[in-house]
Structure formats: C-alpha cells, structure tokens
Amino acid sequence: MLLPSRKQSEAPAESVSGRAWLMLALATVGFAVDFWAWALLSPLGPRFKDSLGLSSFEQSLLVAVPVVVGSLGRIPVGALTDRFGGRVMFPLVSAATIVPVLYLGLAGHDSLAALLVGGFFLGIGGTAFAVGVPFVSAWFPPERRGLAIGIFGAGMGGTAISALTTVKLVDAHGMANPFLITAAVLAVYAAAAALLLRDAPGRTVPTEPLARRLAATLGLGITWQASALYAVAFGGYVAFSVYLPTYLKTGYGLTQADAANRMAGFVLLAVAMRPLGGWLSDRLGPVQVLAGSLAVVLAGALAQSFTPSLAPVGTIAFLSMAAALGAGSGATFALVALLAPANKVGSVTGIVGAAGGLGGFVPPLLMGSLYGAYGSYAIGLVLLGLVAAAALTFTEAGVRRAVTRGSSRPTPS
C-alpha cells in the first residue's frame, strides 16, 4: 500500500479554500474553451476530404497538425507559466487563439495549404493544458491534487462541444458560423480570466533562465516516466477524438453526423473518467489506476482489431477504451503532482503534455496510411494493443519503484 495515498485519504476537507475551488472552476472553463477551439477542424475532416478531394493521408494530416503544434507548444508555455503564472498566461493563450479561429472561419478553408496554415496556429489553443496544471496544482495541497487536476483535465471535454456543434452549425448557417461563435467565447473568457484569475499565495517563482530550467526538468525521472505514460493515455484519447469520425464513416459506413455524435460520446465518457482517475489515484495510488487502465486499453484494442459489429461489441470496446484512457490521463498527472518538485510542475507538465499530444499525432497518420495501403484498420489497432502492453509492463516495473522510493521520503510540511 502506498503511504501517501493513505495520508491523502485522511486529509481534512477544510484544508482547501473556497477561492481555490473558484480558481479551479475558472481554469477548467478556460481549458474547455481553448480545447473547443483546438478541435474545430476534426469534425470537418470528412467534409474537407470530399470538397477538396483529399487523400486519406492528407485528411489525417489536416486534423493532426493542430495536435502536434499544440503539443510542442506546451513545453515553452509550461515553463513560462512557472515564471509568470496562470493569471498572465491563461488570458494570453485564449486571446492568441482567436486569430487562427477567425482566419479559418473567414478565409482559410478553401484549400489544403490554407487549412494547414490555420491549423498550425490553431495549435496555440492546445497549449492551455500546460498553463492549467501548474496553476491548479499550486492552489491545492498534495493530498487533493489528483482530484483537482483530474477535474481540471475534464476541460478536455471542449473537444466534445466541437464534435456536437461544428457540423450542425456549418450545415445550418455556413462554414464561418462555428468559428465566429468560438472566437466570441474565447474573447469573453480571455477578458474574464484577466479580471478574475489569481495565482496561489506563496507560489514559487523560478529565477533561472528558461533554458536552464528546461534542462533541469529533462534530468528528472518523473518527466520521462510520466511522458511515456501520457503519450499512451492522453495520446490515445487525442488520436480517437480526431480520427474516430473518419474511422466510423469509413469502416462502418456511418453518416458524418452520426459518426461525430458517437465520437462525442467517446469524448464525454473519457472526460468524466479523468476526475475519477485522479480521485482514485489520491486513494489507491496512481500506479494501480494506471495499470488497470492500460489493461483495459489492451483488451479493447485487440477486440476492436477484429472489426466486430458496432452493436454491441464495437461500442463496448470503444467505450471501455474511452473510460480507461480518461482515467489513465488523470492518474498520470496525479503521479506528476506526487513526484515533481513544486517549482518545476509547469515545466514537467509542458514536456509531459507535449508527449501526450505527440502520442495523439502519430496514430491518425498511421491509421490513414494503413487503411490506404491495406483497406483495413486492424493492424493499427493491434499496434495500439502492443503499445498498451509495453506501457503496462513499464508501469508495474519502473514507475512502481519510483513511487515507492518517493513514498519513503519524509513528507514536506
């Protein structure tokens, strides 16, 4: 049994202030809004494929570009958040995301090149994650951070807003409509965040240069351990959230609207499970939650590789993987909160978040290429199962030892 988990379960509820919960709520809303913008191109991928005559690879590239830019951008944004705080960075990221959203809605959707340019800068919205984790972590005591960061992580449900509304708004009011609405919401949030957000009292502000801080972060074991796990857990979630509409339309012949709705269900379940994964990590320990989650992903991927009927086997497989990927994502950052130094949480989060996003960049491209070559998604799903198996082995070996060593150290007062 992990000693920190037992201590955490005995922590009094009064130890968390009302202001901390308010800051968590504001950060979660901001994360959802930025992720809503970040995911705008994914539901429209099949439409652009038909209207612009894109190949399967080009369609996959279109929806993957915002993912990789948003992922790599988390590295400097996380380090900048350690330095300047979420009060500065949240409004800044949200306001900057408005520009590519307006560009895509008003001018940048008539060619693949224009979409790729807009998608590149749309990646800014994906960096909001690296702002929120250190911001929220500083407001909560260690025994509550798994739950708090899990609740914040539920903001990834912004992708579900995009999945449920984008296609319908385009059909009803034209291509520009969802982009204009999202830009307006981003502007409102950026203004509200500038007025209401406050950094935690006593927040540790690093004084070293950015390059030195990043180098020190890369020297931490938790950085690499959490990066590997998040690349599978959150990377799997991102990959499914951007490619599932295409998979369901191509593999099962669903309409674009039906495929988008089913993808939204996948996303919503993963979002709901992320706080639960953090909460369970506070009580059982993140290693146990990660191991269970990865075992479910392994089983679900192998089952789906046989392309079973969508009802009920395929649906059960996808929903099981959604629940596991959400819980595993929450557990990964409970692990970060447990083992990362307080003044490096943002930097660690940036690198781990980048790994998660990059984990979501490769599978859509791979799935598109494999389907184009073999007319089947089975090989890609088998590969997902093998990756989950490797991550499970790593969790039970190296990560468990790291947490055990961490639990044997005196708990800071």
Kindly state the average pLDDT of the residues 140-165. Answer: 84
**Is residue 286 predicted with pLDDT exceeding 60?**
yes
Q: Say if residue 210 is exposed, middle or buried (CB neighbours under 10 Å; 0-12, 13-18, 19+).
A: middle
Q: Which two tokens stand for residue 305?
A: 């590789």
Confidence at residue 224, expressed as pLDDT on a 0 to 100 scale: 92
Residue-level pLDDT at 94: 96
Task: Identify the residue with better confidence: 342 or 349.
Answer: 349
CA distance 110 to 379: 33
Residue 344 has pLDDT above 90, yes or no: no
Cα 162 to Cα 206: distance, rounded to the nearest angstrom: 36
For 80-100, what is the mean pLDDT?
93
Confidence band, pLDDT 50/70/90 cuts, at residue 304:
very high
- Kindly state the tokens that stand for 107: 């001018």
Average of pLDDT values for 319-338?
91
More confident residue, 242 or 23: 23
- pLDDT the model gives residue 242: 72
> Residue 259 above 90 pLDDT?
no
- Does the structure show a pLDDT above 50 at 11? no
Over 50: is that where the pLDDT of 6 sits?
A: no
pLDDT value of position 412: 40
Secondary structure class of 301 (helix, strand, coil): helix
Q: Average pLDDT, stretch 6-28?
A: 71
pLDDT at 266 exceeding the cut of 80:
yes
For the entire predicted model, the pTM comes to: 0.77
Residue 8 has a pLDDT of 42
pLDDT at 15: 66
What mean pLDDT do residues 184-191 have? 97
Distance CA 136, CA 56 (A): 39
In the predicted structure, residue 9 carries a pLDDT above the cut 70:
no
Residue 295, pLDDT score: 96
Q: What is the pLDDT of residue 407?
A: 56
Does the pLDDT of residue 177 top 50, yes or no? yes
Q: Which domains does the chain have, with CATH numbers?
A: 18-199 (1.20.1250.20), 217-407 (1.20.1250.20)
Q: CA 333 to CA 337: how far, in whole Å?
A: 6
Calculate mean pLDDT across residues 152-176: 86
Mean pLDDT of 30-55: 88
Residue 101: is its pLDDT beyond 50? yes
Residue 406 has what pLDDT? 61
What is the full DSSP assignment across 13-81? Answer: GGGS-HHHHHHHHHHHHHHHHHHHHHTSSGGGHHHHHHHHT--HHHHHHHHHHHHHHHHHTHHHHHHHH
Residue 84 CB contacts under 8 Å (≥ 6 apart), including other chains: none
pLDDT in tens, 122-140: 999 989 988 998 899 889 8
